[in-house]
């Protein structure tokens, strides 16, 4: 399917220069529905976004002269524009957390230290492989959360509007880092070996870093003994809607020689958000459209007959 799917998402990529003024009011100390453990699970991931976005931007930029396919090159340039804006907005979100006394800057510094070591030691092709792996992770997380906007019902409207704008754009460009890597590295068996090693390295580095950073944030927030919050996080990550279980399951197809990110074609849900945004220019209205879409989606009852999803 990889060849058939290679460019189906390129016409989706649009750099929308939206500014969301993040501050202590709309980024609460426990901004994820007032839940400390889930907030810090998200913080452990999102704290790395500004530096991570700049890393994958730089990786794509360094490969531009190697690209043979003009469509891949064009998509890479638009991808760089999107990621530059994402980094800017998440810088403000991280700063708002720090103003609350949450040491997100310390968490971000850990990621920066690891990134600098990898940049110093790895070739451009290997860094491009890791960028493709990290972008696959963000694409899976974005896809799962786009399917579950109800998770953010009690999050500040401006913050969830920013996050869902980001999830949409991460999905729009989910194949770009992958295609840049394949085109720049020349494809074939060597590229496959680099791709597999890049994902293994991303998992080996990313998972312990995320767990360690989350534990640090929970400890500094004096929430280690908040067992109710811990239980809610475990339910959300592994039972319903099982965010982390779905993310881990989504890694497995990456190891197939014929894998391509658009094998998982979720453009239909992207278009729910995009139609409303293109009409109104309002990311909050676009999020609400996704929320209504989720509520209206049919589910299957015990007798296998479609019934309406309850509001």
Whether 281 maps to a domain, the answer reads no
Nearest to 182 by CA among 71, 289, 86, 311: 71
Tokens at 26, concatenated = 């709309």
Question: Could you give the angle at which helices 188-220 and 124-146 cross, rounded to 10 degrees?
Answer: 60
CA angle 179, 180, 181 (to 5 degrees): 90
pTM of the full structure: 0.92
The 3-state DSSP composition of the chain as helix, strand, coil percent (nearest 5) reads 75, 0, 25
Burial 86-101 (b: 16+ CB within 10 A, else e): bbebbbbbbbbbeeee
Peptide bond into 241 cis (omega under 30): yes
Whether 39 maps to a domain, the answer reads yes
Whether 277 maps to a domain, the answer reads no
Whether 221 maps to a domain, the answer reads yes
Domain residue limits at 102: 2-265
Whether 276 maps to a domain, the answer reads no
> What's the number of domains the chain is made of?
1
Please give the backbone phi and psi of residue 231, each rounded to the nearest 5 degrees, phi first: -65, -40
In sequence order, the 6+-apart residues with CB closer than 8 A to the CB of 258 are: 1, 2
Taking the C-alpha atoms of residue 16 and residue 9, their distance in angstroms, rounded to an integer, is: 16
Q: What is the pLDDT along the chain (311 residues), one digit of tens a residue?
A: 454 556 677 888 999 999 999 999 999 999 999 999 999 999 999 999 999 999 999 999 999 999 999 999 999 999 999 999 999 999 999 999 999 999 999 999 999 999 999 999 999 999 999 999 999 999 999 999 999 999 999 999 999 999 999 999 999 999 999 999 999 999 899 999 999 999 999 999 999 999 999 999 999 999 999 999 999 999 999 999 999 999 999 999 999 999 999 999 999 999 999 999 999 999 999 999 999 998 886 544 334 444 444 43
Whether 292 maps to a domain, the answer reads no
Whether 293 maps to a domain, the answer reads no
pLDDT of residue 299: 46
Tokens at 157, concatenated = 């409207």
Whether 43 maps to a domain, the answer reads yes
- Which CATH number characterizes residue 188's domain? 1.10.620
């Amino acid at each position: 399917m990889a060849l058939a799917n290679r460019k189906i998402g390129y016409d989706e990529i649009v750099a929308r220069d939206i500014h969301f003024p993040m501050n202590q009011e709309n980024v609460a100390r426990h901004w994820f529905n007032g839940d400390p453990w889930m907030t810090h699970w998200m913080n452990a991931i999102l704290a790395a976004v500004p530096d991570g976005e700049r890393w994958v931007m730089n990786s794509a930029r360094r490969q531009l002269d190697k690209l043979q396919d003009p469509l891949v090159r064009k998509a890479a340039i638009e991808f760089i524009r999107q990621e530059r804006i994402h980094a800017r907005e998440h810088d403000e979100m991280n700063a708002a957390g720090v103003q609350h006394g949450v040491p997100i800057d310390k968490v971000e510094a850990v990621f920066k230290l690891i990134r600098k070591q990898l940049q110093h030691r790895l070739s451009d092709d290997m860094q491009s492989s890791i960028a493709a792996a990290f972008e696959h992770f963000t694409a899976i997380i974005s896809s799962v959360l786009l399917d579950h906007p109800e998770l953010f019902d009690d999050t500040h409207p401006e913050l969830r509007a920013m996050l869902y704008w980001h999830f949409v754009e991460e999905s729009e460009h989910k194949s770009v880092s992958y295609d840049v890597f394949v085109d720049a590295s020349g494809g074939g068996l060597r590229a496959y070996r680099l791709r597999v090693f890049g994902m293994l390295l991303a998992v080996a580095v990313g998972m312990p870093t995320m767990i360690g950073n989350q534990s640090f944030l929970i400890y500094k927030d004096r929430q280690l003994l908040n067992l109710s919050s811990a239980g809610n996080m475990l339910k959300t990550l592994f039972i319903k809607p099982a965010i982390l279980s779905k993310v881990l399951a989504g890694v497995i197809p990456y190891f197939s020689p014929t894998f391509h990110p658009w094998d998982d074609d979720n453009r239909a849900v992207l278009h729910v958000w995009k139609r409303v945004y293109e009409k109104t220019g309002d990311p909050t209205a676009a999020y609400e459209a996704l929320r209504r879409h989720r509520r209206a989606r049919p589910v299957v009852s015990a007798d296998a007959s479609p019934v309406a999803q309850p509001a």
